[in-house]
Each structure stands twice: as C-alpha cells, then as structure tokens.
Structure 1
C-alpha cells in the first residue's frame, strides 16, 4: 500500500456490508490499515419503514449474500427483525455507536460494526434504537461507548457529522452505486474498487488494491 489509504464505505444496516466482513477481517489480519467511513445510507432522510415488501426483498438478498460470503442470516433475524412491523430501517443509532466506539481509537470502529451486525443478523436483536445499540456495545466490552451513545457529547456529535459527511462526499466523488465500497486513496486521489471484489478471492482483492 505504501503511502496509500484504504477506505471502506459502509452502512451498519446494509446486508452486503455484513457479507463483506470476512474480507475485512482478512485485510486487518494481514496488517493492511483500513479506515472505516459511514455513509449514512439508512439514517436521516434515508431511514424508512420496514414494511412487508422491503422485508421480503431484504430476505431474498440476504440468502444470496449468505451463499456468496458464508455469513449467517438466522431464523431469529427473520422472526424478530424482518417480520416485525412498525419498526424503522434506521441506522442512525448504530452509526453513532460505531463513531463513539472509535472516538479515541478509530481501529475500534470495525469491532463495533461487527458486534452490531452479528447482533442483528445472527442474534435477531434490536440495533435501530439507542438502548438496543448500547446493550450490544456493553455486551462486547465497550461500556464507555454505550454510555456516550446514551448521552452524546459535543465531541461525539461533531465526530459523527464529520465522518458521515466525509463518507458521503467520498461516495459521491467516486460515483459509487452503493455500499459496501472500497477506495484506495493515494496522493489525495481516490480510486474505487468495486464491491464485487469483496465477494471473490482474497488474492484477487489484494491485486485490485495494489493495482489501484
């Protein structure tokens, strides 16, 4: 990577982002530094009701993601998340929790993201409310982040605005058509690596990164 930065654009409620987790783990284990930037895809104006039509669409996609990535989408997730009406698809609380976890050490963003994804897609737990996300963070030893999420400080809110703003700006600059997306940034010039590379072989992904 030399002087390049590898940036991962994501939303914690994106099933494809959950599917990309094994590749992120491989990158991290190989010592490749990874910057995580949320795009706010399903927060703010992007939040929407989780109705029956969207739930069916999501579950069909989830089955495809499971086949491609090996990531598990459980019956508990189907029963307690997708098939429950009256809830929102809103990643605001989860995104703020991830920012809180990485406020002192940005490397903790990935650990928080993985915990939140696992809670939703395997545990069938609530990760769209502040209390739900705080409970998940507490369970994985991030009690300080959980407390900050419940009572956000000005520093946390500013960091959240900056990260989401940066993520959206980079997303638009790359003309990305969705998340997950990887960008290799060298000499302030970002180059997009398509999401397909996150669902192929690890060697091919590294080759894409090195060629960018």
Structure 2
C-alpha cells in the first residue's frame, strides 16, 4: 500500500497526526510519501493576529487531547503571541523539499523537528533562520546549504510538490489538511483522517479494509 500524506508544516492538525504517520511509515507493508499542500505558503501566508491566535490555541487544545501531542506555553506566548510573526509555511515547505532532494529518507524526521521547534520550543518556524538552524542541528548540511541558496531545481521541485498536493486534494475532494490518499492495488481513494488521532491500529485497520 502507498499512502500520500498531504499536509502543511504549520497545520496544527497535521502536527497532531504525526505519530500515526510515523507508525505508518514504519509499517513493512506501507510506503508513505509526504506531499505539501502549500496551505499557508505564498498567497496563503498572512501576519499573525489575535483572532487567528485565539482560534489556533482553541483548536490546539482539542488536538492535544485527541493525539497526546504537546503544545507548550512557550509556543502560545512566543509564536501565537508574537505580533511581529507571520503564518507562513513557505520556508518550512522549501526546507523539506531540500531534504527530499538531498536526504529523502530523513524528510519525515525533518518534518517532525520543524513542527516541534514551533509547538514545543516556541520558536517561529515561519522564520527562515529558525528553519535553517533545525536542518543544521540535524546534521542535514547539504539540505541546509541548498535551502540557504535555493537553485532553480529546488524551486521547481518545491513548486511541483505543492501542485501535486493541491491537485490531489481537488481530485479526491479533500476539504483541508491533513489528507490521506491511499493507493492500493492501483486504485486510489481518499481515507478519512479521523483515524490519525488515537490508536495507530485503527489507521492500519482502515487501510486494510479500504
């Protein structure tokens, strides 16, 4: 089975889904491909504001209760309360594509680190400097260098990945992220994401039954 995981690195629900995606990636019968949607990138980016911050924190508490993923007070104060910050997943998405081109086997690990620097460490992962430090701290020097000075290959690859994510969402009627598209025996279908929060066995059972 092949699973396209359509996500955005600044999406709280995607962060909550991460443990289940990691478990799926480790399953011997499942291959997982990360497909960014660009939800908060480019035209989708916007300055942080009090209304969005309040909405996000309310949703984050629900995500935490369903998934067990931590959302720290440092995140609430420094990221949601950081009036100078932007909700912009462009840098994080570009960094993940740089990892995809240089060390693809570590892309899911890099996504986890980029999410945790936001939700746990309380640092703005919409800031290219913060994102670069994450890659460097992971020893992903080639990806960090490519991210710092993106060439046409990286820019094009990133554009294509986002295009693939958006096309997949449109084709299968996904209304938001995260979204799961299962390819099983050549048949592709959208899988409900409720199974991403809670017992990993529920996800495996859903995929087997699809």
Structure 1: state its 5+ residue gaps: none
Match of 2:182 among 184, 187, 194: 184
1:79 matched to 2:77? The reply is yes
SS of residue in 2 equivalent to 1:179: coil
SS of residue in 2 equivalent to 1:182: strand
SS of residue in 1 equivalent to 2:102: coil
Say if 1:207 and 1:158 are closer, same or farther in 2 by CA, change over 3 A: same
1:201 counterpart residue number: 199
Matches of 1:176 and 1:112, distance apart in 2? 25
2:11 counterpart residue number: 14
The alpha carbon displacement at 1:50 in A equals 1.1
1:137 matched to 2:135? The reply is yes
Alignment of 1:69-148 (within 5 A): 69-148=67-146
2:26 counterpart residue number: 29
Alignment of 1:162-173 (within 5 A): 162-173=160-171
Matches of 1:106 and 1:184, distance apart in 2? 20
The alpha carbon displacement at 1:102 in A equals 1.2
2:172 counterpart residue number: 174
Matches of 1:162 and 1:36, distance apart in 2? 13
TM-score by length of 1: 0.94
1:154 counterpart residue number: 152
Matches of 2:19 and 2:198, distance apart in 1? 11
The alpha carbon displacement at 1:107 in A equals 2.8
Matches of 1:188 and 1:47, distance apart in 2? 35
RMSD: 1.3
Matches of 2:185 and 2:41, distance apart in 1? 31
TM-score by length of 2: 0.95
Say if 1:110 and 1:156 are closer, same or farther in 2 by CA, change over 3 A: same
Structure 2: state its 5+ residue gaps: none
1:90-128 alpha-carbon deviations (Å, 9 max, x no partner): 100000000101113433221111010000000011211
1:49 counterpart residue number: 47
Report the number of matched residues.
209
Matches of 1:7 and 1:107, distance apart in 2? 15
Matches of 1:72 and 1:36, distance apart in 2? 22
The alpha carbon displacement at 1:188 in A equals 5.2
